Chain A
């Protein structure tokens, strides 16, 4: 597995698309996180508190 540093796109074999994607570049990763946060924003604004409070189990194991 190649390690991705701060700059540059990850090396990728252009002929063969890997079954499992390698790491995206940092800027791409930040963009994806922003997109995900945009998607989930409504859930976080609306029902966060009741969801968190409602998460009560008994001890396990």
Chain B
């Protein structure tokens, strides 16, 4: 990867007899006990918080290596599962966490990708990425049963129907594909944050790896002077819905110049641009799934890919259930099974069983995911943030931390404006000072939850 990348995931929460708001509040009691707030940074340098609409949310620390980011994403899932298990024990009510992007009433919530890009040329870059983002759901989509008065159908993407614009600076009213709000969390003269909010949350790590890795390759290609495909869609919002509805037929979509093009053909053009910059084994893994999936679309033969693509893995699971029971797509049992695919669990998560049996592959090791619950990535400033937080807590000292600042007690704040700065001397000095302090010996419920989520 060429710039740092982070991923924010909003989770859905369900508990019998509790509203989402009440359940989320229960979930975050240990967080408040730990940090006197529902918005904290963790010893991994990640942000754990309650977002608008009572969504538990986890923002990974800044990562510069794809494997680190995949481990960090899974660490967030594990932490949420452990919070839910603790809240369930405390209340005696089963509180379930769902990693998807739509509830039963049609509300949408997000999975946001953040890419550090150079400020120069960033507006033109965003426009160049729209055809890619509209069509990448044919690989990275998480699948969705949509039920309405006209019937039930299976869509490729969770988010397609929750997108109302291509580019916008608002998120809660408008639903753009790329949010252009200028909030770099870094030196704003040099960098912007490309905030992609059109993606589905992935259960499959292979799919998530593609989702992030393909964007990273395209950004790197662009940075090294390669041209991204010169395509403009007639109507991106209409097109993203067309593509979502097209898994049987792959409807061609319309370009601004009046021609029509298949979604896979758009993706082939971006793939060619990404191939020009591929260097590492990590890059090749991304390109391999990309290429194999587009080939499958060309041949209309997807066999084998159900171990990597979420929309297909879930479809095959639902189909098997329907074969056994004769249930229709809108049957509540089928809708419940769909949610089970996205449900996180400290014990008995469906995804982990699918992975253990070789039905989902391309994941990361349990050890890496467990370790990433409390260990920050080594290659970015999160390395300093995470260690600062864990040392300050061990010493029982007051501190504040956010994406760009660390402050111990009433001391001077240390600014970390470069996301790659993992060895800032002033921050190191704070950490050294804390390491020399005697341990405070305090532990809260959240510390026990970190330990549970971090168990291998």
Do A and B come from the same complex? Answer: yes
Within the complex, what minimum Cβ distance (angstroms) separates B126 from chain A? 18
In the complex, whether A53 has a CB less than 8 A from a CB of chain B is: yes
Chain A nearest CB, measured from B21 CB (Å) = 8
Alpha-carbon gap, A10 to B359, bound state (A): 12
Q: Are A61 and B172 in contact (CB under 8 A)?
A: yes
Interface residues on A, range: 35 or more
Q: Among the interface residues B292, B304, B307, B320, which one has the most CB atoms of the partner chain A within 10 A?
A: B307
Q: Using known A-B contacts A48-B335, A60-B10, A61-B10, determine if residue A36 contacts B350 with beta carbons closer than 8 Å.
A: yes
Closest chain A residue, CB of each to CB of B101: A60
The answer to whether the Cβ of B340 comes within 8 Å of any Cβ in the partner chain is: yes
* Known contacts A33-B320, A57-B107, A60-B51; A1/B361 CB under 8 A: yes
Instruction: Give the complex CA separation of A4 and B55 in angstroms.
Output: 39
Chain A, 4-61, CB within 8 A of any chain B CB: 4-6, 10, 19-24, 26, 28-30, 32-34, 36-37, 40, 43-45, 47-61
Residues of B within 8 Å of A50, CB to CB, are 16
Do A22 and B53 form a contact, CB below 8 Å, given A48-B333, A61-B171, A61-B197? no
Given A24-B359, A30-B320, A33-B359, check contact A61 B339 (CB 8 Å).
no
A57 near B53 with CB under 8 A, answer: yes
Contact A59 B53 (CB under 8 A): yes
Is the interface on chain B under 10, 10 to 19, 20 to 34, or 35 or more residues? Answer: 35 or more
Across-interface contacts of B57 in A (CB, < 8 A): 60
CB pair B109–A59 under 8 Å, yes or no, is: yes
Q: Are B104 and A52 in contact, with the CB atoms below 8 A?
A: yes
Contacts of A43 in B (CB 8 A): 336, 340
Interface contact B332-A48, CB-CB below 8 Å: yes
Number of A-B contacts (CB under 8 A): 153
B51 proximity list for chain A (CB < 8 A):
60-61
Query: In the bound complex, how far is the Cα of B361 from the Cα of A28, in angstroms?
Result: 14
Q: A51-B14, A51-B336, A57-B107 are in contact. Are A1 and B355 (CB under 8 A)?
A: no
Enumerate chain B residues within 8 angstroms of A57, measured Cβ to Cβ.
12-13, 20, 53-55, 103, 105, 107, 109
Interfacial chain A residues near B337, Cβ < 8 Å: 40, 44, 48
CA distance A61 to B12 in the complex (A): 12
Contact A61 B109 (CB under 8 A): yes
> What 12 new A-B contacts, CB under 8 Å, besides A19-B367, A34-B320, A52-B104?
A10-B358, A23-B304, A29-B358, A33-B317, A44-B340, A45-B333, A55-B14, A57-B109, A58-B54, A59-B53, A60-B52, A60-B107
| 7 A-B pairs whose Cβ atoms sit less than 8 Å apart in the complex | A1-B288, A24-B358, A26-B303, A29-B357, A49-B336, A55-B104, A58-B54
